[in-house]
Amino acid sequence: MFRQFRRTTMLVAAMILAAGAGQAMAADGATLYKQKTCIACHGPDGKKPLLPEYPRLAGQNAAYIVRQMQDIKSGARANGNSAAMKGVMHLVNDEEMQAIADWLSGLN
Amino acid sequence: MINKFLSTTLVTIALGTSTSAMAWLETGGEREEAMLLTPDLENGRDVFEVCAACHLPEGWGTEDGTFPQLAGQLRPVLIKQLADIRAKNRDNPTMYPFALPESIGDAQALADVVAYIEELPMNPDNGVGPGTDLALGEKLFKDNCVKCHGEHAQGNADKYYPRLEGQHYKYMLRQFEWIRDGKRRNANPDMVKQIKSFSDKDMSAVVDYVSRLKPPAKDLAPSKDWKNPDYE
C-alpha cells in the first residue's frame, strides 16, 4: 500500500516535472523568438513573414531550422536573403537556436 | 585622340564627383518629398510597430549596439537615413526589408513615423565605452566634431547632422569605423576627410566621450525602466 502510494507519487512528480520542463522550454523558445528579433521578419508564431520571399517557420523541422541558423551565422550560407538575417545572428547561441527551433517546429 | 581621352577623363571625373555628392544628399528623392509633408502622429505610432520589433517599443535600441537608439533623433536625420536605406544608398541588409514601402508605406508614412520617433523620450542609461581614454576623447571631440555636431553633440537639423548624445557606444563605434573606412556610402564626405587619420584608439576614445554626453533632462525618460504606454 505504502509502496504503491510512493510509486504513484513519484510517477506524478515525474510527470509534473516533465510537463514543467516542456513548458519552460516552449516558453523560452517563444520568448527568445521575440527577444532575438526573429519575429520582426518571420511574423508572429512564424506564420506571417514580412515579405513573401521569407519562409514560414511554424511546423518546420527543428533540425533544419537549427542547421540554417548555424550556417547563416557562420557565413557558410550566404545566398538569398541570408544577409538580412546574418546581422542579428550574433544575438543567439547554439542552445538558444535549439530552443527557438523546437518551439517553432511544435507550432501548426 | 588626346581630346577624346581628355573628354572621357573629364566625364569620368564629373561623374565621380556627382556620384559622391549624391550619396550624401540626393536631390529630388523621397527625402525632399517627406520633409515637406505634414506628419500624422497617430499613423506614425501605427507605422512604428514594425520598427519596434528591433528598436524596441521605446525606440531605445540595444546597448550591444546591434540596433541604435532612435528616440529623440532629429526628424530630418531619420528621414534621410530611411530614404537612403530604401533607395539603397546606405547598405543595411537587416533593416532594408523594413524600410520598403510595402513594410512601412509611402513618403507620408515616412514623415509620420519619424515625427513619432523624434518625440519619444530618450534612454537615460545608454551604453557607454570603457572610460579609459576620456581626456583624449574630449580633445578629439572639440577639435573635430563640435563644429558640425554641436557643443553637446546635439546635431544640426538643418544640415541633416545627427544627434549623437545618448547614443549607444557600440553602435556609434561601428558607424564611425564604417564612415572612416568608406563602408558607409551615404556618409558626409567632409566627415570622411575629417576623421581619415583617426587611429582605432582615437576612434574608441572620441566615441566613448560622446556616448557619455547626456541629453537635456527634458528629452529623457523619467527612468531606465520606462515603458512606452502606446504599446502596453
Cell representation of residue B6: 581628355
Q: Which of B54, B64, B102 sits opposite A40 (nearest CB)?
A: B54
Taking CB atoms and an 8 Å limit, are B54 and A51 in contact across chains?
no
The verdict on a CB contact (< 8 Å) between B66 and A87 is: yes
List B122's β-bridge partners, or say none: B220
Q: What is the average pLDDT value for chain B, to the nearest integer? A: 91
Q: Chain A closest CA to B140's CA: distance in Å?
A: 30
Q: Assign 3-state DSSP to chain A and report helix, strand, coil percentages, each to 5.
A: 70, 0, 30
- For the stretch B131-150, what's the b/e string if a residue is b when 16 or more beta carbons lie within 10 angstroms of its beta carbon? eebbebbbebbeebbeebbb
Residue A32, helix vs strand vs coil: helix
Residues whose CB is less than 8 angstroms from the CB of residue B155 and which lie 6 or more positions away in sequence, other chains included: B73, B74, B77, B149, B161, B162, B163, B164
Give the number of other Cβ atoms within 10 Å of residue B230's Cβ. 15
* pLDDT for the residue A18: 45
Kindly state whether B103 is in contact with chain A, defined as any CB-CB distance less than 8 angstroms.
Answer: yes
Q: pTM of the predicted model, to two decimals?
A: 0.82
Taking every pair of Cα atoms in chain B, the longest distance, rounded to a whole number of angstroms, is 71
Taking only the tens place, the pLDDT of each residue in B137-170 is 999 999 999 999 999 999 999 999 999 999 999 9
Q: Can you tell me the distance from the alpha carbon of B205 to that of B199, in angstroms, rounded to the nearest whole number?
A: 10
Complex prediction ipTM: 0.76
Select the residue from A36, A37, A39 to test the B interface by mutation, using most B Cβ atoms within 10 A. Answer: A37
Q: What is the per-residue pLDDT across B3-57, written as a single tens digit (0 to 9) for each?
A: 554 444 444 444 444 444 457 887 778 898 999 999 999 999 999 999 999 999 9
Give A38-96 pLDDT, tens digit per residue.
999 999 999 999 999 999 999 999 999 999 999 999 999 999 999 999 999 999 999 99
C-alpha–C-alpha distance, residues B77 and B175, integer Å: 15
- Spell out the residues 6+ positions from residue A40 whose beta carbon is closer than 8 angstroms to its own: A50, B50, B53, B54, B98
**Per-residue pLDDT at B187 exceeds 60:** yes
Q: Return the SS3 of B161.
A: strand
Amino acid B3: pLDDT: 52
Contacts of B71 (CB under 8 A, 6+ apart): B58, B59, B60, B117, B120, B121, B122, B123
Question: Closest residue of A to B93, CA-based?
Answer: A84
Q: All domains of chain A, ordered by start, with CATH?
A: 28-105 (1.10.760.10)
A41–chain B nearest CA distance, Å: 8
Task: Check: CB of residue B191 under 8 Å from CB of residue B179.
Answer: yes
Inter-chain CB pairs, A–B, below 8 Å: 37
Higher pLDDT, B8 or B187: B187
Which cell goes with B142? 572639440
Instruction: Look at the block and give the residue holding cell 507605422.
Output: B47
In this prediction, residues B201-223 reach a mean pLDDT of 98
Please enumerate residues of A whose Cβ is less than 8 A from a Cβ of B.
34, 37, 39-41, 50-51, 54, 81, 83-88, 90-91
User: Which pLDDT belongs to residue A9?
Assistant: 47
Report yes or no: B66 at the A interface, CB cutoff 8 Å. yes
- Please state, as a whole number, how many other Cβ atoms lie within 10 Å of the Cβ of residue B26: 17
Q: Give residue B170's pLDDT.
A: 98
Buried b (16+ CB within 10 A) or exposed e, A22-37: eeeeeebbbebbeebb
Q: Is B102 on the interface with A (CB under 8 A)?
A: yes
Q: What is the pLDDT of residues B64-108, one digit of tens each?
A: 999 999 999 999 999 999 999 999 999 999 999 999 998 899 999
**In this model, does residue B191 exceed pLDDT 90?**
yes
Identify all chain B residues contacting A54, using CB atoms and an 8 Å cutoff.
97
